[in-house]
A and B are shown apart, each in its own frame.
Chain A
Amino acid sequence: MNFFRSCMKVIRIVAQVLLLYIFYYAGVLIVDITHLPLPASIIGMVLLFICLHFKWIKVDYIKEGANFLIAFMTLFFIPPIIGIIDYPQLISVSGTLLLASVIISTLFVLLTTGIISQWIEKKELEMKEKKEKGEAEHAGKCIHH
């Protein structure tokens, strides 16, 4: 019984991954036709999101497959990373400086973006609260009059 259940789970995951592949290929098709300068996978993500948001597709149809792929996402990045071995020139003085610049710049972006967006986030929240409070007060006044 337990074995049967795990088999069904595997079959469900495979079927759901295939469904996600259909969205990916829809993205490929759109990029081919429109020549949009965007990756097919991101177009596919937008398409799937639209389908979920407008309830054209049940979340249950993709949930397990999506969780599976997300859990293993880093595995799929390994092959392109191995491509680094075709660039031995990165181990030279200017290669090292190039790498260092990319690393420092990335750290800088993480820090500044994180700090500034945290600040904006607080302001956005305060503004919303003020607005809601204002509306509530306004409503209160209307009742008084």
Chain B
Amino acid sequence: MQASVSIISTVIIFLLMRKLYTRYPSPLLMPILTSSIIIISGLLLLNIPFDTYMKGGRYLQHLLGPAVVALAYPLYNQWDKVVKYKYTILSGIVIAMVSGLLSVYSLLVVFKIDKEYILTALPKSITTPVAMHVSETIGGIPPLTAVLVLIAGFTGALLGSVVFTLGKIESPISRGIAMGSASHGVGTAKLVDYGELDLSIGSLSMGLSAVAGAIFCPLFVYLLM
């Protein structure tokens, strides 16, 4: 009963917010953002604990598995482009990984944040399951890592278009690499708005970043901390 209520209300809120977004397409009205705010406020107002919401929510979340599998389809469609730009893609992933680790590490050191939280934040740009795993390996707090991963995803989904305009980043390949390796799935899902090439390079970069992150993060901690 509780499960179906949370599934149905999440889906209805999402569909309504998506309708609103198609009418007023502003980044601030992105369905993922507006729906999350509405649901969080609803849960807080009605005093419903997260675990109760998740009785239904986990079924929706479970669909993320086959949804990520489905990204093989745009990748298959665009495979000749991937082969054509293989060096760009591979070097882009490494640049993203190194600049991500260095920038978040130096910011946190400047802000005098505890070491445990620094370790929690390092895997922020890789997809949630890998990030939590890496966080555990290097001594962070996995559930908090998951939250920071989502913040990184939101940042890309919300502000990615602004960054692309400012930096004059107009190539679908580079947009895909940047989004997939900085903002994983949440950012990649947003690439649907740009086109299939962006989306497929984004999903490929997300996957490659997960592999790179699983190797680079522990190495970075070992070398620098």
User: For the complex, what is the distance from the CA of A66 to the CA of B189, rounded to whole Å?
Assistant: 13
Which of A41, A110, A120 has most chain B Cβ within 10 Å? A110
Q: Does A115 contact B (CB under 8 A)?
A: yes
User: B176's closest neighbor in chain A, by CB?
Assistant: A117
In which size bucket is the chain B interface? 35 or more
A121, B171: Cβ atoms closer than 8 Å: yes
Q: Does A33 contact B (CB under 8 A)?
A: no
A117 nearest CB across to chain B (Å): 4
Work out how many contacts link A and B, with CB atoms closer than 8 A.
306
Q: What residues on A are CB-neighbors of B53 within 8 Å?
A: 79, 82
Q: What residues on A are CB-neighbors of B72 within 8 Å?
A: 45-46, 48-49, 52, 66
Known: A44-B69, A121-B174. A101 touches B58 (CB 8 A): no
Partner of B181, one of A98, A100, A109, A111: A109
Question: What sequence of 0s and 1s flags, for each residue 63-84 of chain B, a beta carbon within 8 Å of any chain A beta carbon?
Answer: 1111111111111100100001
Q: Does A140 contact B (CB under 8 A)?
A: no
Q: What residues on A are CB-neighbors of B36 within 8 Å?
A: 78, 81-82
Q: What residues on B are CB-neighbors of A69 within 8 Å?
A: 63, 66-67, 70
A101, B121: Cβ atoms closer than 8 Å: yes
- Segment 127-186 of B: residues with Cβ below 8 Å from A: 127-130, 133-134, 137, 143-144, 146-148, 150-153, 155-156, 159-160, 163-164, 166-167, 169-171, 173-175, 177-179, 181-183, 185-186
- Segment 196-225 of B: residues with Cβ below 8 Å from A: 199, 203, 207, 210-211, 214
Q: What residues on A are CB-neighbors of B155 within 8 Å?
A: 102-103, 106-107
A70, B199: Cβ atoms closer than 8 Å: yes
A98, B108: Cβ atoms closer than 8 Å: yes
Q: What residues on A are CB-neighbors of B152 within 8 Å?
A: 102-103, 105-106
Partner of B192, one of A71, A80, A99, A118: A71
B108, A84: Cβ atoms closer than 8 Å: no
A109, B96: Cβ atoms closer than 8 Å: yes
Q: What residues on A are CB-neighbors of B76 within 8 Å?
A: 49, 52-53, 59
User: A101's closest neighbor in chain B, by CB?
Assistant: B107
User: B120's closest neighbor in chain A, by CB?
Assistant: A98
Q: What residues on B are CB-neighbors of A87 within 8 Å?
A: 143-144, 147
Q: What residues on A are CB-neighbors of B104 within 8 Å?
A: 101-102, 105
Q: Does B16 contact A (CB under 8 A)?
A: no
- Segment 4-63 of B: residues with Cβ below 8 Å from A: 10-11, 14, 31-32, 35-36, 39-40, 43-44, 50, 53-54, 57-58, 60-63
> Closest 10 CB pairs between A and B?
A79-B57, A41-B68, A114-B169, A39-B129, A66-B70, A117-B92, A105-B104, A101-B107, A48-B72, A114-B178
Q: Which residues of B contact A (CB under 8 A)?
A: 10-11, 14, 31-32, 35-36, 39-40, 43-44, 50, 53-54, 57-58, 60-76, 79, 84-85, 87-89, 91-92, 95-96, 99-100, 103-104, 107-108, 111, 113-114, 117, 121, 124-125, 127-130, 133-134, 137, 143-144, 146-148, 150-153, 155-156, 159-160, 163-164, 166-167, 169-171, 173-175, 177-179, 181-183, 185-186, 189-190, 192, 199, 203, 207, 210-211, 214
Q: List 6 A-B contacts (CB under 8 A).
A: A39-B128, A70-B70, A99-B148, A110-B160, A110-B178, A111-B167
